Amino acid sequence: MPAELHPHARQAGAWQRFDGIRSAQALERIHGRVHRTALQRIPCGDPRVELRAKLENTQATGSFKARGAWNQIAQLTAAERALGVVCASSGNHGQAVAWAAKQAGVAATIVMPANAYANKIAACRDNGAEVVLMPTRAEADEEVTRRVARGAVLVHPYDAERTLEGAGTVGLEIAREWPELEVLLVCVGGGGLVAGSSLAVRQELGERVRIFGAEPAGAPTMTSGLRAGEPVHPQITSKVQGLTPSYSGRVNIAICSTTLDGTILLADELIFAAQKELVRMGHKVEPAGAAAYAAAAARSLPAELYQGRSVADPLRIAVTISGGNPDPAQYESVLLELAREGRA
């Protein structure tokens, strides 16, 4: 199926056990370093829906990852700063860590799979980081483990409380700007954005908001992890780079088990089509950044949410547009397709 809803049964209020994780504090910490991005109304083809997009594709370094990277690096001790930081990344997190480390005067090493987008590799180097290329993402993770054992400080892309507190400021900003929000759809890779944002929205708006993660069917790490109650390493077949880590994080799964109402698995072609539609609207978006919008456009939410809704009383949905660093060749191909269709 192009889009498949996987409902998740959760205990109301169970998210309160994570009360020590507060994106409100991270929001203060990142102020002046990271942009407060627009929450912009966009069309979705359904008059029963008011859809707003959180435009993290316009964020510093081009993705939401700047939030978690700065929240991590801003809290390093003097001893940790002297040791330098390291991370594994296919692009956006590495670029954000390199940027944050440069701002803070900290040495950074970014270990990347060799198939990472060339523009993302270049962006890490342009920010002064050492880039180490490994054949696969799994081997990149192994190399980071070795470097941490030798003393470098890990800035994990998603499976760390400080990372997800920073990422969660996305959800917190949405909740504070649009408290009438009824449904939140969040792109899912390793789970930092969805865990942080869903927890922040629960803390700000409580139980009434329905929250869903959107991930590729060919990389169902959160869906599998929620089912198992722990990280799972499914076979990864999706081509949506940025949403294809080998697993969703342990802390992310634990939080999402209490905050999410379900996940939506999307065929790659739906995500690429959503990217194309967002580009047609004038947004520079990478495929990974379009997954939540793809879920909204596919009308993949529970049917009862749409019942009785109208132009006068629309279903209020927010989606994260999580990244705007497409591979130049891939982005150019989208622009050419639109031009051929006479829609650019």
Please give the structure tokens belonging to residue 245.
């880590």
pLDDT tens digits, the chain, 344 residues: what are they? Answer: 689 999 999 999 999 999 999 999 999 999 999 999 999 999 998 999 999 999 999 999 999 999 999 999 999 999 999 999 999 998 899 999 999 999 999 999 999 999 888 989 999 999 999 999 999 888 999 999 999 999 999 999 999 999 999 999 999 999 999 999 999 999 999 999 999 999 999 999 999 999 999 999 999 999 999 999 999 999 999 999 889 988 999 999 999 999 999 999 999 999 999 999 999 999 999 999 999 999 999 999 999 999 999 999 999 999 999 999 999 999 999 999 999 998 54
Using only C-alpha atoms, the chain has a radius of gyration, in whole angstroms, of 19
φ/ψ of residue 67, rounded to 5: -65, -50
Q: By C-alpha distance, which of 222, 262, 277, 266 is closest to 240?
A: 266
Cβ contact 135:165 at 8 Å: no
pLDDT at position 91: 87
Kindly report the pTM of this predicted structure: 0.95
Report the distance separating Cα 194 and Cα 213, nearest Å: 6
pLDDT single digits (tens) 165-179:
999 999 999 999 999
In angstroms, how far is CA 318 from the centroid of its own chain? 14
Question: 27: phi > 0 → left, psi -120 to 50 → alpha, else beta; which?
Answer: alpha
| β-pair type (108-113, 85-88) | parallel
Domain 65-157: which CATH number of 3.40.50.1100, 3.40.50.150, 3.40.50.11030, 3.30.300.30? 3.40.50.1100
Question: What six digits make up the tokens of 126?
Answer: 């342009």
Residue 204 phi, psi (nearest 5)? -90, -40
**3-64+162-340 has which CATH code?**
3.40.50.1100
Output the six-digit token pair for 20. 């020590």
What is d(CA 139, CA 241) in angstroms, rounded to the nearest whole number?
A: 16
HSE-up of residue 326 (Cα within 13 Å, Cβ side): 21
Question: Are 143 and 236 spatial neighbours (Cβ–Cβ below 8 Å)?
Answer: no
Asked if domains 3-64+162-340 and 65-157 share a fold, the reply is yes
SS3 content of the chain, % helix, strand, coil (to 5): 45, 20, 35
For the chain, domain boundaries: 3-64+162-340, 65-157
Q: What is the DSSP letter of 323?
A: B
Interval 179-222: pLDDT, tens: 999 999 999 999 999 999 999 999 999 999 999 999 999 999 99
